[in-house]
């Protein structure tokens, strides 16, 4: 098994990982110690708050200590971070990595609308296309400060594609959850539960030292009154429940005139539970939101894509009572790219604009949703999303010397980050104690080769689809 996967990977990555080590990209060798010195540290944990000019000691992939004037252990990698902001890496709590090479094809006409283009082209994916899409998504995420992603893998097609998707996330530089989904976006073929069970039983072998986790990318029946379809869906849901796997489900309105019907179906069938994340809620009623919170489920909203496809306005103030609330990119090709700053800004402007009140929104709240909120939604907050000793060293360092940040003279940088920062301002990104971006550059990937392969991939997909 392991051998076969390695060979598959070798065949697929080729030039993409030419300069990468053979180890999974984000696994820190034990014993690595890094001291990040003198940055403005936003822990994103309420009890700790912000620590100006503080040091972070990272050891064995975890945060060992945060404080002032920490002594440098012998042999430690010292990173001078004075004049920067150090904050947790962003958590992208829902995405669709495999469509990333479709960027630029959604042109807002009936023929070029998101759903029609994606369904048409997805049917022509090879395992190599799947691998490239998911890897491209994860690599651009790393460059944009995202250290955790949850990839709703809903074009599994067959086991070779499934292996390719898993391989992509193993070769990716970030923490990832593979949400195993249906064979395609358009058919009602059930999820390959046998493979999900097999993976779950041997997950230790696939998990890249705990960096990867598994879940179910689950969909409601296309017709909500189709008893036969429900029998299949119930079995999938129960299998995930039995295996203790998290589940993600879209509740975006596809029932004409009843946009909240999918959410109602989940409630009526008592399917809301801890470990389940509902995706999108622009149409949700207050009683549905209350039911979700009472059940202990998570909610992931995706402002960039919800606006783009016309689901309505993402009003985050409507979800104020939800403890497990996070943001999702929802496919870099549809969102534009993996820009969490743009996403936070859109959410902030949407809320203030629709409330006609500048003070309706707190930049700090948006940063919480983009970090610890997403981790909570995924049930990963004991591991990532905040800077706390014992948790994984998943963090980003933002330099403040770019044009778009000029003039800022210290203090709380929340508003600066939400309204002015760009992914290019992130000089370093660390995942599990290892720098995956440093001095403004990715450390392990041949980006030009990856872009070139993505272009070839989409060219071939489009040719096969003609
Ligand atoms: Zn989605």
Q: Which residue has the tokens 């009683």?
A: 287
> Ligand 1 centroid vs 77 CA: distance in angstroms?
39
* Cα 314 → chain centroid: 18
Please count the other Cβ atoms lying within 10 Å of the Cβ belonging to residue 116: 13
Find the helix or strand (DSSP H, E) in which 347 lies: helix 340-355
pLDDT along the chain (466 residues), means of 10: 39 42 46 93 97 98 98 96 98 98 97 95 97 98 98 96 98 98 86 97 96 97 92 96 97 76 95 97 94 98 96 94 97 97 98 97 97 98 98 98 96 98 98 97 95 98 97
Side-chain half-sphere of 167: how many Cα atoms within 13 Å?
28
Token duo for residue 57: 């000691």
> Within the chain, which residue ranges are assigned CATH 3.20.20.140?
90-378
Name which of 375, 381, 431, 446 is nearest 173 in CA terms: 431
Residue 27 near residue 432, CB atoms below 8 Å: yes
Could you give phi then psi for residue 226, rounded to 5 degrees?
-90, 100
In the CATH hierarchy, which top-level class contains the domain 90-378? alpha beta
Q: What is the pLDDT of residue 188?
A: 77
CA 419 to centroid of ligand 1, rounded, Å: 25
The fourth-level CATH superfamily of domain 33-89+385-442 is: Urease, subunit C, domain 1 (2.30.40.10)
Instruction: Quickly tell me which residue has 């995924």 as its tokens.
Output: 378
pLDDT at position 259 is 79
Q: 31: CA distance to ligand 1 center in Å?
A: 38
Expressed in angstroms and rounded, the spacing between residue 342 Cα and the centre of ligand 1 is 18
Q: How far is the CA of 96 from the centre of ligand 1 (A)?
A: 6
Q: Who's near 197: CB < 8 A, 6+ residues apart?
A: 239, 243
The confidence score (pLDDT) of residue 253 equals 63
| CATH 2.30.40.10 residue ranges for the chain | 33-89+385-442
CB of 429 closer than 8 Å to CB of 435: yes
CB atoms closer than 10 angstroms to residue 320: 9
Q: How far is the CA of 407 from the centre of ligand 1 (A)?
A: 38
Tell me which residue of 312, 366, 302 sits closest to 334, measured CA to CA: 302
């Amino acid at each position: 098994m392991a051998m076969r996967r390695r060979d598959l990977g070798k065949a697929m990555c080729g030039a993409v990982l030419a300069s990468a080590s053979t180890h999974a990209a984000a696994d820190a060798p034990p014993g690595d110690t890094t001291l990040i010195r003198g940055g403005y540290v936003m822990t994103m944990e309420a009890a700790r708050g912000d620590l100006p000019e503080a040091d972070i000691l990272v050891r064995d992939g975890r945060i060992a200590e945060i404080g002032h004037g920490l002594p440098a252990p012998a042999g430690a990698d010292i990173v001078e971070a004075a004049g920067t902001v150090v904050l947790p890496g962003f958590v992208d709590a829902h995405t669709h990595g495999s469509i990333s090479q479709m960027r630029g094809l959604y042109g807002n006409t009936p023929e070029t609308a998101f759903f029609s283009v994606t369904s048409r082209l997805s049917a022509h994916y090879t395992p190599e296309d799947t691998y490239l899409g998911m890897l491209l998504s994860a690599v651009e995420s790393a460059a944009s400060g995202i250290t955790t992603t949850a990839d709703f893998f809903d074009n599994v097609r067959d086991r070779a594609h499934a292996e390719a998707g898993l391989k992509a996330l193993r070769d990716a530089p970030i923490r990832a959850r593979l949400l195993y989904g249906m064979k395609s976006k358009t058919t009602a073929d059930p999820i390959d539960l046998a493979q999900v069970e097999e993976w779950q039983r041997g997950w230790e072998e696939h998990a890249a030292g705990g960096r990867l986790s598994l879940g179910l990318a689950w969909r409601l029946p296309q017709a909500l009154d189709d008893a036969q379809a429900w029998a299949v869906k119930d079995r999938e849901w129960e299998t995930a429940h039995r295996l203790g796997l998290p589940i993600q489900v879209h509740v975006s309105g596809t029932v004409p005139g009843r946009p909240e019907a999918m959410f109602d179906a989940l409630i009526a069938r008592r399917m809301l539970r801890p470990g389940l994340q509902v995706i999108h809620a622009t149409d949700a009623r207050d009683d549905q939101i209350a039911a979700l919170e009472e059940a202990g489920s998570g909610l992931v909203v995706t402002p960039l894509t919800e606006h783009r496809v016309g689901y309505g306005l993402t009003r985050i103030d409507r979800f104020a009572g939800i403890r497990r609330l996070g943001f999702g990119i929802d496919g870099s090709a549809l969102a534009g790219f993996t820009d969490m700053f743009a996403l936070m800004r859109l959410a902030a402007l949407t809320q203030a604009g629709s409330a006609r009140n500048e003070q309706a929104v707190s930049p700090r709240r948006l940063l919480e949703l983009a970090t610890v909120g997403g981790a909570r939604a995924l049930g990963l907050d004991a591991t990532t999303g905040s800077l706390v000793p014992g948790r994984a060293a998943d963090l980003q360092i933002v330099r403040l010397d770019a044009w778009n940040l000029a003039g800022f003279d210290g203090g709380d940088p929340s508003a600066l980050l939400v309204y002015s920062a760009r992914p290019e301002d992130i000089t370093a990104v660390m995942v599990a104690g290892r720098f995956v971006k440093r001095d403004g550059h990715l450390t392990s990937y041949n980006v030009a080769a990856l872009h070139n392969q993505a272009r070839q991939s989409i060219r071939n997909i489009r040719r096969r689809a003609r």
